[in-house]
Amino acid sequence: MTPCRPATSWPATGRPSSSTSSPAPWPRGGPSSSIRRSASTRPRSSRLGARSSGSSGGATRGAPAPPELLEELATACAEARVPLVVDEAFIDFVEGRSLKSTVPRRPWLGVLRSLTKFFALPGLRVGYALLGERLRERVEGWREPWSVSALAEAAGIAALADRAYRAQTLRVVPAWRAALCVGLERLGGLRVYPSVTNYLLVGIERPGLTAAALAAALLRDGIAIRSGASFPGLGPNHVRIAVPRPEDQQVLLAALAHRLEP
């Protein structure tokens, strides 16, 4: 049994496709002309947004967007002088995919980074933004004087300096995630989507069981999962499950097996 169903691929067209369908072709001129046309037709006051690791609360339906596609988008927006804001909240789980090094040469590019995901600091709500010169000029007028508390700032600095934690997380999370994929698939009645983060997007295929009902039932067992009903495009039959430690996975899988019984 495979640990997860095959991931979505990004073919030469630049668009994702599944193993069972062919990608729709880009308009004549390829992705470059399509991106430029989209950016150039927007009002100067508008902006474009992108998620570099494609997430529904962190769980991907496929592979992350290729760096070259995001680079092309950033270039097109720069030429059209349209601000581009890239959400890299989960990018720490995918090495070598960040656009942060390109910010100094792209005045309209913004890269948002979060410390609450990879570094497990959700209660502090701390993150940072890397902004190109022109975008920074706009944002400075809106920024609150004290946007981060002293405690959050200290925790964030300490987290970024902890290289041992980063190395350990990148080593253990993929193995834990693969094991959880296998366990969930074996239960039956669930579809597990591939992920590159510490969350899994799971579709509920058992008739009559909704994400809200499953989340409520597991909460009574002392286990919290997230209903995906509020995630755009998912509907009432998807949940987001964090990847726990191996010993906690057995507790989670046992509770799910009980709740998935006909």
Query: Which is higher by pLDDT, 64 or 141?
Result: 141
Q: Residues spanned by CATH 3.40.640.10 within the chain?
A: 30-161
CA distance 196 to 227: 19
Residue 220 has phi, psi (to 5 degrees) of -65, -25
Quote the tokens at residue 122. Answer: 């959700």
> What is the CATH architecture assignment of 30-161?
3-Layer(aba) Sandwich (3.40)
Task: Report the pLDDT value the prediction gives residue 12, as an integer from 0 to 100.
Answer: 37
Work out the percent of the chain whose per-residue pLDDT is above 70: 75
Single-letter residue type at 194? P
When comparing pLDDT for 43 and 215, which is higher?
Answer: 215
How far apart are the two ends of the chain, measured CA to CA in Å?
23
Average pLDDT over residues 191-203: 92
Q: CATH 3.90.1150.10 in the chain, residues?
A: 164-259
User: What does the pLDDT read at residue 6?
Assistant: 45
pLDDT at 138: 87
Residue 229 · residue 201 · CB < 8 Å? no
> What is the average per-residue pLDDT within 84-101?
87
pLDDT above 70 for 10? no
Provide the edge-to-edge strand list for the sheet that holds 84-87: 48-51, 84-87, 109-114, 127-131
**pLDDT tens digit sequence for 54-67:** 444 444 444 566 77
pLDDT above 80 (res 17): no
pLDDT above 80 for 51: no
Q: What confidence score (pLDDT) does residue 53 get? A: 52
pLDDT (0 to 100) of residue 38: 61
**Segment 29-39, tens digit of pLDDT:** 555 566 666 65
Mean pLDDT across the stretch 234-245? Answer: 92
pLDDT tens per residue across span 172-185:
999 999 999 999 99
**Helix/strand/coil (H, E, C) string of 43-83?**
CCCCCEEEECCCCECCECCECCCCHHHHHHHHHHHHHHCCC
Q: Tokens 């700032």, residue?
A: 153
Per-residue model confidence (pLDDT) at position 218:
96
Phi, psi of 109 (to 5 degrees): -95, 135
> What single-letter DSSP state applies at residue 9?
B
- CATH of region 164-259, choose from 3.40.718.10, 3.90.1150.10, 3.40.50.1980, 3.40.50.300: 3.90.1150.10
